[in-house]
C-alpha cells in the first residue's frame, strides 16, 4: 500500500535543505513507518533530485519521523531554477512510497 493510506506529511525548507515530516494517522502504525521508511528508502525514492544525503529522526511521542534531505532544492528558494522553489510538493511525493501491508 502507499504510505498515504496510513500517514500524512508536510515539507519545510531551510536553504538547500528540505525537511519532510511523516506522521502516522494512528499512532499504532508508527512502528510500521519506523520499520519500512528508512533513510535509505527515502534517499532511493528521491534519487532523481537529491545531491546530498538523508538523515532520519524519530519522534515516537508524536508517532512521527522527520527526514532531512541535504542539497535537495537546486540551491534553495532564492536561487533555484525550479518551478516549486521551496520543494513544497516533496511531501506528496514521499507519500507515494509503497510499503508492505503489515
Partner 1 sequence: MRQIRIGAGAGYSGDRIEPAVELAERGRLDYLVFECLAERTIALAQQARRRDPHLGYDPLLAPRMRAVLPACRRAGTVIITNMGAANPVAAAELVCATAHDLGLGGLRVAAVTGDDVAAAVSAGACRILEDGRPVAALGANLISANAYLGAEPIVQALAAGADIVITGRAADPSLFLGALAYEFGWSLADWPRLGQATLIGHVLECAGQVTGGYFADPGFKTVPGLARLGFPLAEVGEDGSAIITKVEGSGGCITTATCKEQILYEIHDPARYFTPDVVADFSQARVEQVEPDRVRITGGSGHARPEALKVSLGIAEGFVGEGQISYAGSGARDRAELAAGIVRERLELTGVAARELRFDLIGVDAIHGPGLPAGGARAEPYEVRLRVAGRTATAEEALRIGNEVETLYTNGPAGGGGVTKQVREVLGVLSTLLPREQVQPRVQMLES
78 binds partner 1 (CB under 8 A): yes
Residue from 3, 35, 47, 73 binding partner 1 (CB under 8 A):
47
Which residues have CB under 8 Å from 101's CB, separation 6+? Answer: 1
For residue 92, CA distances in Å to 61, 79, 101 come to 23, 23, 20
57 binds partner 1 (CB under 8 A): yes
Cell of 8: 500524512
Question: Whole-angstrom Cα distance, residue 33 to residue 57?
Answer: 12
Residue from 3, 19, 33, 37 binding partner 1 (CB under 8 A):
19
Residue from 15, 35, 40, 51 binding partner 1 (CB under 8 A):
15
Furthest C-alpha separation in the chain: 42
73 binds partner 1 (CB under 8 A): no
Closest CA to 4 of 65, 102, 93: 93
In the complex, the residues that contact partner 1 under the rule CB under 8 A are 4, 8-10, 12-17, 19, 21, 23, 25, 45-49, 55, 57, 59, 61-64, 66, 68, 75-79, 81-84, 89-90, 93, 96
Amino acid at each position: 500500500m502507499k504510505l498515504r493510506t496510513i500517514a500524512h506529511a508536510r515539507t519545510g525548507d531551510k536553504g538547500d535543505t528540505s525537511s519532510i515530516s511523516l506522521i502516522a494517522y494512528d499512532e499504532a502504525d508508527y512502528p510500521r513507518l519506523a520499520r519500512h521508511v528508512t533513510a535509505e528508502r527515502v534517499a532511493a525514492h528521491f534519487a532523481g533530485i537529491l545531491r546530498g544525503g538523508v538523515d532520519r529522526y524519530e519522534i515516537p511521542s508524536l508517532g512521527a519521523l522527520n527526514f532531512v534531505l541535504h542539497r535537495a532544492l537546486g540551491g534553495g528558494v532564492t536561487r533555484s531554477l525550479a518551478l516549486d522553489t521551496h520543494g513544497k510538493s516533496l511531501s506528496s511525493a514521499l507519500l507515494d512510497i509503497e510499503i508492505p501491508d503489515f
